[in-house]
Chains A and B, each alone.
Chain A
Amino acid sequence: MTFAERMLKIDRRIIFVVIGLCTLLPLLYPVGLPIKVSQEVRGVYDHIESLPERSVFLLSLDFDPASKPELYPQAVAILRHAFKKNLRVVAMTLWVSGTGMADELLTKVADESGKQRGTDFVFLGWSPGGTAVIINLGQDLYNAFPSDYGGKPTKGQPVLEGVNNLKDVAYAVSLGAGNPGVEAWYVFGKDKYKFELGGGCTGVMAPGLYPLLRSGQINGLIGGLRGAAEYESLIGQKGRAVAGMDAQSATHVAIIVLVALCNVFYFALRRQARQQGSQS
Chain B
Amino acid sequence: MDATIIGAWVATGLTLFIFSFLYKDNPLFKLAENLYVGVSVGYTIVKTYDTVIVHLIWKPIVENHEWTLLIPVAIGLLMLTRYVPKAAWLSRYAFAFIVGVGAGLAIPRTVSSFILKQIEDTVRPLLTLVPGEGAAFSWNLLNPASSINVIIVLIGVSSVLFYFFFSVEHSGPGKTVARTGVMFLMIAFGAAFGYTVMARMSLLIGRLTDLIEYSDPSYGRPTLWLALVTIGTLIFLSRRAHGEPPDHH
Question: A interface vs B, CB < 8 Å?
Answer: 13, 16, 19-20, 23-24, 27-28, 64, 68-70, 96-97, 99-100, 125-128, 131-132, 135, 146-147, 151, 183, 186-188, 191-192, 202-204, 206-208, 211, 214-217, 223-226, 240, 243-244, 247-248, 251-252, 255
Contacts and interface: CB of A to CB of B under 8 A. Distances in A.
A24 B207 CA distance: 10
Contact of B44 (A24, A96, A131, A247): A96
Contact of A70 (B112, B188, B192, B203): B203
B212 A224 contact: no
Contacts of B192: 204, 207-208
Nearest to B54: A151
Contacts of B117: 191, 215, 217
A226 B120 contact: no
Given A69-B207, A97-B40, A223-B195, A214 B144 contact: yes
A183 B118 CA distance: 13
Contacts of A202: 199
Given A151-B55, A215-B120, A23 B204 contact: yes
B31 interface: no
B109 A69 contact: no
Contacts of A20: 204, 208
A263 to B, nearest CB: 14
B238 interface: no
Contacts of B121: 211, 214-216
B43 interface: yes
Contacts of A217: 113, 117
Interface of B: 22-23, 40, 43-44, 47-48, 51-52, 55-56, 60, 105-106, 109-110, 112-114, 117-118, 120-121, 144, 188, 191-192, 195-199, 201-209, 212
Closest 7 interchain pairs by CB? Answer: A69-B206, A203-B199, A215-B121, A225-B202, A244-B205, A203-B198, A187-B113
17 contacts: A27-B208, A70-B202, A96-B48, A96-B51, A97-B40, A100-B43, A125-B51, A126-B47, A126-B51, A131-B105, A151-B55, A187-B110, A191-B113, A203-B199, A203-B202, A215-B120, A247-B205
B127 to A, nearest CB: 19
A226 B198 CA distance: 8
A23 B51 contact: no
A15 B162 CA distance: 40
Contacts of B43: 97, 100
Contacts of A251: 201, 204
Nearest to B41: A97
B109 A192 contact: yes
B198 A224 contact: yes
A26 to B, nearest CB: 9
A251 B23 CA distance: 20
B197 A252 contact: yes
Given A96-B48, A128-B51, A215-B118, A23 B113 contact: no
B202 A224 contact: yes
Contacts of B204: 19-20, 23, 251
Nearest to A24: B208
Contacts of B191: 207
A248 B194 CA distance: 12
Contacts of A23: 201, 204-205, 208
Contacts of B208: 20, 23-24, 27, 247
A27 B205 contact: yes
A102 B11 CA distance: 18
Given A68-B206, A70-B203, A211-B118, 7 more contacts: A70-B206, A188-B105, A191-B109, A214-B121, A216-B121, A217-B113, A251-B204
Given A70-B203, A192-B109, A248-B202, A224 B195 contact: yes
A191 B121 CA distance: 15
Contacts of A99: 47
A70 B203 CA distance: 7
A77 to B, nearest CB: 15
Contacts of B40: 64, 97
A132 B202 contact: no
B22 A135 contact: no
A13 B197 contact: no
Nearest to B197: A255
A128 B52 CA distance: 7
Contacts of B202: 69-70, 203, 224-226, 244, 248
